[in-house]
């Protein structure tokens, strides 16, 4: 269980990135962390991994305070950053040097990933493309079998077949004991993978809800003309009419559109927070 209680953080004095941030993340889910540029998605992952320290409030991952960087904490969390450096060694040397830090690391699982990625363990990391390096690091993170896995923009640099491969591998590696958090701008890449959805906006958590809760409260669809039959949160011109995100008081079924949900949250954060207030209370005891 990951808990943030009244967490505040900022890089500059009097310019907080978060103010009294509250969030609870439970094992057994693949959370999608969304937000505009500069909202602090990468910063939040660094706070969770103990690379940054909150300026106020309490942050706890399991029984540990991340900033204490205790060995038992470090061996049970893994962060795949958006930007990274890998040493100029062969893949098997990288595995041999780093796997011992993770007691549940599965070498057979890692070799299966390498093979599926179309790589061999004798290839040198510095001779791989950015996308290939990212695959190695993602595979290593999955094979650690840590209780917490943090992925920052993991699909950047991956081609279309590799994105599909990524979704399948992450879904197969998730279980009821593991908390996976994926920070992304590429919402279309992960629409079928992430659930619940957490959206950062204007220093707070504007939304923290499951896909089921979202589609129960919001309606996603197309109309030929805009009218007053639905309380609209967001609309955009599309071929054949308008794509809408609207309130859903009648519980009409629809399919989640993650990109338009994100735009709706940014356009109407207060309305979204009010609409999901019951959900927020349940998700953040």
Whichever domain contains 165, its CATH number is 3.40.50.300
Confidence of residue 281 (pLDDT cuts 50, 70, 90): very low
Q: What is the pLDDT of residue 44?
A: 95
Q: What is the pLDDT of residue 284?
A: 37
Contact between residue 7 and residue 44 where contact means Cβ atoms under 8 Å apart: no
Residues 190 and 251 in one domain: no
- Among left, alpha and beta (phi > 0; psi -120 to 50; other), residue 40 is left
Residue pLDDT, tens place only, 65-124: 999 999 999 999 999 999 999 999 999 999 999 999 999 999 999 999 999 999 999 999
DSSP secondary structure letters along 23-36: EEE-TTEEEEEE--
Last residue of a domain, one of 164, 194, 224: 194
Residues 168 and 106 in one domain: yes
Q: What is the pLDDT of residue 14?
A: 79
234 SS3 class: strand
CB atoms within 10 A of CB 249: 10
Residues 82 and 120 in one domain: yes
Letter string b/e over residues 24-42, b meaning 16 or more CB atoms within 10 A of that residue's CB: ebebebbbbbbbeeebbbb
Q: In whole angstroms, how large is the CA radius of gyration of the chain?
A: 20
Confidence of residue 189 (pLDDT cuts 50, 70, 90): confident
Percent of the chain at pLDDT > 90 equals 72
Residues 141 and 275 in one domain: no
Task: Please tell me the total count of domains within the chain.
Answer: 2
Q: Which of 187, 181, 189, 194 is nearest to 41 (CA)?
A: 181
Residues 80 and 19 in one domain: yes
DSSP secondary structure letters along 194-209: -BSEEEEETTEEEEEE
> Does any domain span residue 270?
yes
> Does any domain span residue 27?
yes
> Does any domain span residue 202?
no
Residues 182 and 45 in one domain: yes
Residues 128 and 216 in one domain: no
Residues 176 and 254 in one domain: no
Residues 230 and 189 in one domain: no
Q: What is the pLDDT of residue 285?
A: 36
Residues 277 and 158 in one domain: no
Last residue of a domain, one of 194, 219, 245: 194
> Does any domain span residue 203?
no
Q: Which domain holds residue 100?
A: 2-194
pTM of the model: 0.90
Confidence of residue 13 (pLDDT cuts 50, 70, 90): confident
Residues 162 and 67 in one domain: yes
Averaged over 206-231, what is the pLDDT?
91
Bigger pLDDT: 203 vs 243:
243
Residues 216 and 137 in one domain: no
> Does any domain span residue 39?
yes
Query: Has residue 279 got a pLDDT over 50?
Result: no
Q: Which of 144, 151, 64, 133 is nearest to 99 (CA)?
A: 144
Averaged over 180-191, what is the pLDDT?
88
> Does any domain span residue 186?
yes
Averaged over 177-182, what is the pLDDT?
95
Residue pLDDT, tens place only, 119-168: 999 999 999 999 999 999 999 999 999 999 999 999 988 888 899 999 99
Confidence of residue 283 (pLDDT cuts 50, 70, 90): very low
């Amino acid at each position: 269980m990951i808990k943030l209680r009244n967490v505040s953080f900022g890089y500059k004095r009097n310019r907080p990135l978060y103010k009294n941030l509250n969030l609870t993340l439970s094992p057994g889910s693949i959370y999608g962390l969304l937000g505009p540029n500069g909202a602090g998605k990468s910063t939040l992952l660094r706070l969770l991994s103990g690379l940054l320290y909150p300026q106020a409030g309490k942050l706890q991952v399991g029984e540990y305070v991340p900033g204490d960087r205790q060995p038992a904490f470090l061996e049970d969390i893994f962060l795949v950053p958006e930007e990274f450096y890998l040493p100029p060694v062969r893949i098997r040397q990288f595995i041999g040097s780093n796997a011992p830090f993770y007691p549940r690391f599965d070498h057979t699982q890692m070799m299966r990933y390498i093979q599926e990625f179309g790589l061999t363990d004798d290839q040198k990391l510095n001779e791989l493309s950015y996308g290939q390096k990212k695959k190695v690091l993602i595979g290593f993170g999955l094979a650690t079998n840590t209780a917490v896995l943090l992925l920052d923009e993991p699909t950047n640099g991956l081609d279309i077949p590799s994105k599909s491969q990524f979704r399948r591998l992450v879904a197969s590696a998730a279980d009821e004991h593991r908390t996976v958090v994926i920070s992304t701008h590429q919402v279309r890449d992960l629409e079928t993978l992430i659930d619940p959805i957490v959206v950062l906006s204007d220093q707070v958590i504007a939304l923290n809800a499951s896909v089921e809760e979202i589609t129960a409260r919001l309606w996603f669809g197309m109309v030929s003309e805009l009218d007053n039959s639905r309380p609209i949160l967001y609309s955009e011109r599309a071929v054949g009419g308008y794509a809408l995100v609207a309130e859903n008081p009648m519980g009409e079924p629809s399919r989640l559109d993650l990109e338009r949900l994100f735009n709706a949250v940014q356009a109407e954060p207060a309305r979204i927070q009010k609409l999901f207030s019951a959900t927020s209370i349940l998700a953040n005891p």
